[in-house]
Amino acid sequence: MSSVSPATALPPRRSRERLKAISRILLDTATDAGAPGVDAVYGAGILNVEKAMQAQAPASSFVAADAVLTRFSSLTTSAPFGGSAAAAALSGQVGGMTVFDRYGRDFTMTASTGVRARSSGLLAGAMLAPTDAPWRAAQAEAARFGFATNVGAQAMRRPDVPAVVSFSPVAGQQVTLGTNVAVGGGNGLAGSALRGIASLPVGGMSAWSAGGWSASLSSGTSRDGRLRQQVIGFATPLGFGLELSDLAERGQVLGMRGDAALGLSGGRTTLATLTYRRTLVGVDLTARATASSTRAHGGSNLLRFDGPLIGSAFSLEGARELFGGRATLGLSSTLRVERARAVLLAPVSFDLVTGALSTRAVAVDLAPNDRELDLELGWSTALSRTSLFRVGIARAFDAGHVAGASDTAAFVTIAIR
């Protein structure tokens, strides 16, 4: 049986701070003996080695430390930034810190919930956009007083079905108006280049064409209301065209979201897309190359973007008549951030007793190192004037702009009027 006093005679190589911490632990965990409290016989009590080894700060202190870490890592990345790869990299920066207990001992602590990631969404649902069935286009044989339309009893029963009306104001010109149509959806089976940001916007469109020239204007909002897209497009008889898009987001920046502490109120993106359409040896070719610039709105000392976010996307598709139907083969890549410089506030250490927190600013570029490539194959045929059969498959390599990740999706549909 030993009292605490002689037990504190430790080797002189120990630092003064370490000696103080050990002394504090031994005094706090000693088993009281003799008169209550400190007395002349037993001092602070009898040494209790087992309790001394288990001594730590109260559990509530660690809960408070985890709450601090959660505040720094309350971020959800999106596919343009690299999805899960970006989440892992950011978690390494802001998802851990050193904590000190009441005895000055240090522990490495990791947040119970790290930075999360949203999928790029290469699923059958992304490929099952409203089917381009023949009866959804304005039918010339149904023209009345110079107007052709797909609006009828079917559209009246289902107000969410795209409705299109077309007319010719003068000879050689055509004007088309539509509602409940997909905006900026692209032509590929894998869906829109923006699918990693939000659900496909749906809204209205108007188009004019004459002598190989065409112009169009469309505007729509995503189902969750976070995104609104407006697109104006031009095309020439040579097959070259240009599309300019304005993308307004609410509560996110290119799909990246965070809680109120991060202060990301939204973003504004301008996209310029060069298009080219031409028929070669019976194959209808369509090429699209997109460049984007995004300005983030809001932010806080936890996360602040430094300058615009630059991104890119592209697609190439060929289609031709085959086996009594129309076959398509395409290669595409969704929007990827090429430059996204930001400053993060990262936790360094936290005192469990006083609540004192030390931090450091970290400059990062959130652009991913890899690029997703989607290979697509599809075939469709009209079974009758009122039915359409479609089948397709898409394979994503480095899915979500993450090295080695892959995704495969396929579908078979029969649409009947």
Q: Do residues 87 and 127 touch, judged by C-beta distance below 8 A?
A: no
Q: Which of 262, 268, 224, 216 is nearest to 242 (CA)?
A: 216
- Residue 241: its pLDDT value, please? 97
CA distance linking residue 372 with residue 403, whole number of Å: 8
DSSP 149-179: E--SHHHHH-TTS-EEEEE-SSTTEEEEEEE
- Residue 328: its pLDDT value, please? 93
Taking only the tens of pLDDT, the chain with its 417 residues reads 444 444 444 445 445 656 666 677 777 777 877 778 777 777 777 777 666 656 555 566 678 888 889 889 889 999 999 999 999 999 999 999 999 877 777 888 888 888 999 866 655 344 444 444 444 455 444 444 455 555 554 444 455 667 888 888 888 899 999 888 888 765 555 567 888 787 788 899 999 999 999 999 999 998 888 999 999 999 999 999 999 999 999 999 999 998 888 889 999 999 999 999 999 999 999 999 999 999 999 988 999 999 999 999 999 999 999 999 999 999 999 999 999 999 999 999 999 888 899 999 999 999 999 999 999 999 999 988 878 898 989 899 998 899 999 888 888 888 776
Tally of CB atoms within 10 A around 22: 18
- Residue 189: its pLDDT value, please? 56
CA distance linking residue 368 with residue 197, whole number of Å: 15
CA distance linking residue 377 with residue 392, whole number of Å: 6
- Residue 339: its pLDDT value, please? 96
CA distance linking residue 227 with residue 222, whole number of Å: 5
Residue 160 CB burial class (10 angstroms; 0-12, 13-18, ≥19): exposed
Tell me the per-residue pLDDT of 74-85, one tens digit each, with 9 for 90 and over: 899 999 999 999
- Residue 43: its pLDDT value, please? 77
Tally of CB atoms within 10 A around 401: 28
Pairing between strand 357-365 and 341-351?
A: antiparallel
- Residue 104: its pLDDT value, please? 73
Tally of CB atoms within 10 A around 44: 20
